[in-house]
Amino acid sequence: MNDQKNFVNHIRPSFVPTGVLTVLYTFCLGGLSFLAFVILGITGLLMMFHYQPGDSSGFSSILTIASVIPYGGVIRNLHYWAGQLMVVTVNLHMLRVVWTRSYKPPKQLNWLVGVALLILILFLDFTGYLLIGSQESGAAATVAVNILGLIPGIGTGLAQVLFGEPSALSGSTLVVYVWHCVALPMIALLLQLYHFWRIRRDGGVRPL
Ligand code: HEM
């Protein structure tokens, strides 16, 4: 058991309990989610070299990435599809956890970490949609800002913190850009590392 408490041994464990590698128990849905996250990080970083947030610059830089920058179209598509895949695999992963009742003690804290991850992934998906800067993005941003505005007292301020001041015709702002490209991915990465560490601390992936 000491083996699992030491961080170095955690990265290179000296033993793996029998059964944890059974693919048909997890369907590797958590692993697939993480793979999608890594692809999103790499392709997202590459797009940051050319993307400029803003009312008019957002959409035009997306067009430049997709049709002028070498391999830009492939990278943008990879980013888009990895995002869609991640939303699907994370939800299926959560269903698997429910199916195998793995939310029960001692795994209840990791379940809550998972819920936080799910919210982060959905917010990443939404802010990514806003960064396209199309009229649809503008409409989505307007709906989100208006819904948040309904919260008494803090609503307007919260909308400002989360989205800045998006135009109804674009949705792409510097605030959304920083959330999507820096803050949310960093928080999600740290939380995923904690999620993985907790899996071992809770005794590994195995029927309870
Ligand atoms: C970024 C999203 C997520 C990633 C990358 C991720 C990754 C993983 C991985 C790799 C495992 C090991 C077993 C497996 O592959 O199924 C796991 C287990 C687990 N995950 Fe996630 N997960 C994510 C989101 C979630 C969500 C949304 C929930 C639930 C709300 C959740 C709850 C759990 C629990 C309770 C376990 C332990 C399961 C067991 O021991 O059988 N995770 N996760």
Query: Domain coordinates of the chain in residue numbers?
Result: 28-201
Do 163 and 176 form a contact (C-beta atoms < 8 A)? yes
Q: Which residues are CB-contacts of 124 (< 8 A; sequence separation ≥ 6)? A: 83, 180, 184, 185, 188
Q: What is the pLDDT along the chain (208 residues), one digit of tens a residue?
A: 455 566 677 777 777 777 777 888 999 999 999 999 999 999 999 999 999 999 999 999 999 999 999 999 999 999 999 999 999 999 999 999 999 999 999 999 999 999 999 999 999 999 999 999 999 999 999 999 999 999 999 999 999 999 999 999 999 999 999 999 999 999 999 999 999 999 988 988 877 7
pLDDT at residue 142 in the model: 98
pLDDT at residue 23 in the model: 87
Do 87 and 121 form a contact (C-beta atoms < 8 A)? yes
pLDDT at residue 5 in the model: 63
Superfamily of domain 28-201 in CATH is: Cytochrome Bc1 Complex; Chain C (1.20.810.10)
Q: What is the DSSP string of 60-110?
A: HHHHHHHHTSTTHHHHHHHHHHHHHHHHHHHHHHHHHHHHTTTTSTTSHHH
Tokens 């048909």 map to which residue?
A: 24
Do 27 and 94 form a contact (C-beta atoms < 8 A)? no
How many whole angstroms separate alpha carbon 104 and alpha carbon 150? 36
Which protein residue's CA is at the shortest distance from atom 27 of ligand 1?
A: 114
Q: Which residues line ligand 1 (CB under 6 A)?
A: 26, 28-31, 33-34, 37, 90, 93-94, 97, 100, 102-103, 107, 110-111, 114-115, 117-118, 121, 192, 195, 199, 205
